[in-house]
């Protein structure tokens, strides 16, 4: 079933346009703006250009989704297959199925919202020309990662996003931005070198780099030892990008230093590239190698879930001087742990849960980073002790709509039923309860129990954040000033003549007076509402109607795990 019948040639054009248009837009952003389009100035013109290009890509992605055949989501659609390097049989092979389409839409949506946010609140730093061009190159590389079906093209697209993100952090970031950017690039480049060796091993041993052909072969053309080596090499590169504990240490520094737009794209889009590689490449192409490493992957995943939650609890406690952006970054380590646990089960239930959790994390954590950026702009800091302070009602009293939306995003992140975060975690735990044949049930049920305990820790730190940042610290009488103003009248229980207590008036207890009036903050602005509302609405929609997403992913996952057979 298609909502609108679109010809295959138009679908091919739409997918190619989605991948290439941001790259062309990045080149155009560096050129001088035509005089009639400059508006109030060249800076505004180039930021408007970013909104236009990302908006056109988002519209094309929506049209592509509308024309997608939802009756056959396991079939590659909108395919383009052109020979590129005949000597190596490397082809420009593009296509989408029910696994890649949601990630394509998520990337197009988040990049457009980031461009819109940057237009109304330009980034503090060097020329907006370079900023806009880097964001567009980043979008092109990410979209290509989810659309290409050739191993070498996948690697090129995977690497294409590293340099733009490095400069976004190093040039437009906050404190310690250069160190954080170097840590990011070194970790990811080292992981990528190892990953390239694994991809080359698969391609050369099997005789093709075509991901569809390799998935259909389902590892039959590769010996078990080759699969084990390939999974180890490719898995390291993907695990760094995911990030998996203990290869995660670049992430909190990168998020803390990155500008708001950089944090949203890093959490909402770039982390998904690693988990997508596990599902698209390792599960179908090297199933025996994945089965060997699945228990270790699951063990690292649940350690990451608990470790990320404990790190968040440590940052959230009073007096820890924890940074709210850093806390959300550590929460991503835990959430991506659930994604890896679902993949490690090698079952349709677990992998569907992983893909659902991927999308949910992109929506919710993207919204959280937008909100934390707004809070930091208003307070001038993201320090939790400063944000909580002795401010009475804190955000609820100073910017109530902003506080309410932050609380909504926090409870969505902890997996409240009825919101998007719930389904991915639940399906992942169900998959761990009954893993694929050949995997140890007692071990995976232990992992399931640890993961379930991690959901309780997640609820604990998220509720602490809501209580402290939205409600504020409890204000005791010792924090209030009982002193009366200098021009206040004498207490009613004292005779003005100084003769002692008046016989006609009874003494009354002094009422403590607040030390100062809490200043109000700017609440949600119109452009912020336009940026954040789609993410909040989709979080509710995915929570109440999960079949929309699962109906796309499940047939494709079933086919992938069955070796290309529907």
**If you write DSSP's letter for every residue of 455-502 in order, what string do you get?**
HHHHHHHHHHHIIIIII-----GGGSB-PPPTTPPPPTTB-TTSSSB-
Q: What are the tokens at 366?
A: 């993207």
| Residue that has been written with the tokens 């209030």 in this structure | 480
Phi and psi at 95, nearest 5°, equal: 175, 160
Q: Kindly write down the DSSP assignment for every residue of 169-226, as one continuous string.
A: HHHH--TTHHHHHHHHHHHHHHHHHHHHHHHHHHHHHHT--BHHHHHHHTTTTS-HHH
Q: What three-state secondary structure class fits 123?
A: coil
Q: What are the tokens at 105?
A: 């839409």
Q: Give the HSE-up count for residue 529: Cα atoms under 13 Å, Cβ half-sphere.
A: 7
pTM above 0.95, yes or no: no
Which pLDDT value is given to residue 223? 86
Element of type H or E holding 448: helix 441-465
Question: For residue 413, how far is the Cα from the chain centroid?
Answer: 11
| Per-position pLDDT tens, the chain of length 566 | 666 777 888 889 999 999 999 999 999 888 876 655 555 667 788 888 899 999 999 999 999 999 888 888 888 888 888 888 887 778 888 999 999 999 999 999 999 999 999 999 888 777 888 899 999 999 999 999 999 999 999 999 988 998 999 999 888 887 788 888 888 888 888 888 899 999 999 988 888 888 888 888 877 878 889 999 999 999 998 998 888 888 888 888 888 888 889 899 988 888 899 899 999 999 999 888 999 999 999 999 999 999 999 999 998 888 777 788 889 999 989 999 999 999 999 999 999 999 999 999 999 999 999 999 888 888 888 888 887 765 546 778 788 899 899 999 999 998 888 899 899 999 999 999 999 888 889 999 999 999 999 999 999 999 988 888 888 765 543 343 443 443 444 444 444 444 444 444 444 444 444 444 456 677 788 888 999 999 999 999 999 999 989 989 999 999 888 865 54
| Residue that has been written with the tokens 């040639």 in this structure | 9
Which pLDDT value is given to residue 189? 86
- Contact between 374 and 402 under an 8 Å Cβ cutoff? The reply is yes
- The neighbouring-strand residues paired with 481 are 513
Cβ neighbours of 437 (radius 10 Å):
8
Neighbouring residues of 566: CB distance < 8 A, sequence distance ≥ 6: 74, 555, 558, 559
CA distances (Å), origin 97, targets 156, 248, 250: 21, 30, 32
- Contact between 95 and 16 under an 8 Å Cβ cutoff? The reply is no
Residue 475 burial (CB < 10 Å; 0-12/13-18/19+)?
Answer: middle
CA distance 452 to 442: 15
CA distance 206 to 216: 12
Q: What are the tokens at 238?
A: 């993907």
Look at residues 76, 97, 63, 69 and name the one whose alpha carbon lies nearest to residue 2: 69
Look at residues 121, 106, 126, 140 and name the one whose alpha carbon lies nearest to residue 169: 126
Which pLDDT value is given to residue 508? 47
Which pLDDT value is given to residue 482? 40
Peptide bond into 360 cis (omega under 30): no
Rounded to a whole number, what is the distance in angstroms from the first to the last CA of the chain? 17
Question: For residue 187, how far is the Cα from the chain centroid?
Answer: 19
Cα radius of gyration (the chain): 27
Which pLDDT value is given to residue 128? 87
Look at residues 472, 113, 466, 123 and name the one whose alpha carbon lies nearest to residue 324: 466
Look at residues 418, 426, 442, 293 and name the one whose alpha carbon lies nearest to residue 352: 426
């Amino acid at each position: 079933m298609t909502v609108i019948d679109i010809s295959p040639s138009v679908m091919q054009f739409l997918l190619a346009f989605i991948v290439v248009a941001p790259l062309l837009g990045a080149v155009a952003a560096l050129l001088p703006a035509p005089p009639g389009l400059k508006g109030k100035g060249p800076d505004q013109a180039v930021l408007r250009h970013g909104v236009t290009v990302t908006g056109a890509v988002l519209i094309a992605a929506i049209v592509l989704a509308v024309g997608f055949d939802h009756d056959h989501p396991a079939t590659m659609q909108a395919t383009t297959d052109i020979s590129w390097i005949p000597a190596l049989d490397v082809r420009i092979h593009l296509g989408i199925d029910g696994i890649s389409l949601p990630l394509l839409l998520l990337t197009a949506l988040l990049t457009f919202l980031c461009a819109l946010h940057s237009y109304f609140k330009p980034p503090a730093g060097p020329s907006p020309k370079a900023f806009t061009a880097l964001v567009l190159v980043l979008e092109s590389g990410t979209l290509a990662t989810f659309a290409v079906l050739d191993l070498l093209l996948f690697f090129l697209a995977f690497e294409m996003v590293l340099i733009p993100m490095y400069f976004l952090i190093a040039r437009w970031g906050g404190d310690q931005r250069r160190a954080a950017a170097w840590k990011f690039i070194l970790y990811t480049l080292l992981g990528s070198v190892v990953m390239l060796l694994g991809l080359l091993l698969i391609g050369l041993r099997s005789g093709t780099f075509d991901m569809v052909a390799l998935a259909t072969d389902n590892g039959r053309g590769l010996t078990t030892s080759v699969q084990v080596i390939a999974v180890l090499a490719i898995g390291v590169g993907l695990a760094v990008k995911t990030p998996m504990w203990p290869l995660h240490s670049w992430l909190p520094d990168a998020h803390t230093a990155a500008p708001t737009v950089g944090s949203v794209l890093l959490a909402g889009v770039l982390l998904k590239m690693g988990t997508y590689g596990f599902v698209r490449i390792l599960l179908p192409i090297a199933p025996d190698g994945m089965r060997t490493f699945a228990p270790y992957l699951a063990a690292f995943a649940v350690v990451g879930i608990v470790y990320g939650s404990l790190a968040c609890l440590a940052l959230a406690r009073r007096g820890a001087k924890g940074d709210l952006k850093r806390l959300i970054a550590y929460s991503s380590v835990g959430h991506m742990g659930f994604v890896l646990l679902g993949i490690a089960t090698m079952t349709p239930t677990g992998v569907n849960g992983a893909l659902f959790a991927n999308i949910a994390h992109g929506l919710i954590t993207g919204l959280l980073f937008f909100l934390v950026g707004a809070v930091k702009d208003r307070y001038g800091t993201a320090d939790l002790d400063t944000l909580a302070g002795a401010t009475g009602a804190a955000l609820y009293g100073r910017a109530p709509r902003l506080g309410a939306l932050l609380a909504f995003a926090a409870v969505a992140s902890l997996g409240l039923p009825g919101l998007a975060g719930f389904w991915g975690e639940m399906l992942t735990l169900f998959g761990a309860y009954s893993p694929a044949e050949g995997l140890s049930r007692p071990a995976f049920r232990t992992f399931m129990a640890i993961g379930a305990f991690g959901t309780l820790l997640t609820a604990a730190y998220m509720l602490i954040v809501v209580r402290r940042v939205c409600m504020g610290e409890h204000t005791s009488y010792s924090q209030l000033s009982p002193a009366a103003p200098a021009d206040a009248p004498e207490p009613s229980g004292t005779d003005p003549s100084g003769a002692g207590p008046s016989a006609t008036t009874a003494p009354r207890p002094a009422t403590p007076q607040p030390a100062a009036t809490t200043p109000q903050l700017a609440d949600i602005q119109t452009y912020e509402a336009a940026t954040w509302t789609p993410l909040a609405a989709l979080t509710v929609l995915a929570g109440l109607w999960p079949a929309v997403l699962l109906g796309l992913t499940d047939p494709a996952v079933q086919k992938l795990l069955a070796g290309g057979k529907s």
